[in-house]
Amino acid sequence: MRHFNISYTGYFNRRHRRTGHLYQGRYKSVLVDKEAYLTVLSRYIHLNPVRVKAMEKAPLKDRLKQLLAYPWSSLTGYLTSRKRERFVEYGLVLSEYGGNTSRARKAYRKALYVDLAAGLAIKDKIVGQSILGGDEFIEWIRERFLRGEADRERPALKEVYKYGAKDGILRAIEQETGRSFETICQKKGLFRQVAMELLYRVGGLKGEEIGRVMGVGYTSVSQERRRLRARLLEDRGLEALVKRIEQKCNE
């Protein structure tokens, strides 16, 4: 991609008698769990033509019109067989909807329209700036490809290890409290506060990340952790519990 960027930019600049950069920003790639996110990512990319400043406040009808009229996109081939291109493999994405069929194209169209109305965002789901997938997929990547100490020191990959550490923290909390993580998340109270604090203190997760794990807003995470810190000053038994869980997480 670096070779392409340099060579094509040079060709374009010579042809049009211009200088400077042609592309905005550096090339970036993301490793995607196709079972969970391939079709989501496809729809996200297809919505790029209306994800521009001029379309921010446009009515939904106008954004849809702009989307369908954009000529430099493979979208129309996903919506109707008459607009398909021979060099595009539509079946890979449409397989989630049943294959390259009329019914699948209608289902893709419906999902795309829902995303257009709701505003599809995936950037906050990317772990370590480079992995988009579920918990099992991220853990598989970490265990199979990121086992060395050198990987742990690479800034972008520290997030992957931090994300993986989450599971160990949750297991330790379950063992010490005798409650499943699902039960802890569902009920406000002491154990949920402990989980939030340890995910922050030991796992290094930020408030927004903890909120996604626990199914709450990041402001709730901040409030719950503050309440726990106040209780720790008065309750020695609670302090001992947190230390036991923390020690188990670090083993």
**Rounded to an integer, what distance in angstroms lies between the CA atom of residue 221 and that of residue 200?**
10
Structural domain harbouring 169: 135-250
CA distance 188 to 53: 40
Dig out the tokens for 165 from the structure.
């550490």
Same structural domain, 107 and 172: no
Same domain, 234 and 143: yes
Q: In this structure, are 172 and 195 located in the same domain?
A: yes
Count up the domains in the chain and report the number.
Answer: 3
What is the DSSP code string of 130-197?
A: TEES-HHHHHHHHHHH--SHHHHTSHHHHHHHHHHHHHHHHHHHHHHH-S-HHHHHHS-SHHHHHHHH
Do 151 and 246 fall into the same domain? Answer: yes
Residue 115 is assigned to a structural domain of this protein: yes
pLDDT, residue 128, reads: 66
Among the listed residues 132, 104, 142, the one whose alpha carbon sits nearest the alpha carbon of residue 35? 132
Is 223 inside any structural domain? yes
Q: How high is the pLDDT of residue 21?
A: 85
Q: Is 130 a domain residue?
A: no
Whole-model pTM over 0.85:
no
Residue 156: the pLDDT is 56
Between CA 206 and CA 121 the distance in angstroms is: 19
**Domain presence at residue 129:** no
Give the per-residue pLDDT at 149.
Answer: 47
Mind listing the pLDDT tens digit of every residue in the chain (251 residues)? 878 888 999 999 999 999 888 887 777 788 888 888 889 999 999 999 998 888 888 999 999 999 999 999 999 999 998 888 889 999 989 998 888 889 999 999 999 999 998 888 777 777 766 788 877 787 777 777 766 545 555 555 555 555 556 777 778 888 888 888 778 877 778 888 888 888 887 777 778 878 877 888 878 888 888 888 888 888 888 888 888 888 777 66
Computed over its alpha carbons, how large is the radius of gyration of the chain? Answer: 24
Pair (38, 22) in one structural domain: no
The SS3 of residue 123 is helix
Q: Are 234 and 245 in contact (CB under 8 A)?
A: no
Task: Note whether residue 128 is domain-resident.
Answer: no
Are 49 and 70 a contacting pair, CB within 8 Å? yes
Kindly tell me the sign of the dihedral angle through the C-alpha atoms of 235, 239, 245, 246.
Answer: positive
Report which of 82, 85, 88, 78 is spatially closest to residue 108, judged by C-alpha positions. Answer: 78
Q: Are residues 94 and 42 in the same domain?
A: yes
Q: What's the pLDDT score for residue 161?
A: 56
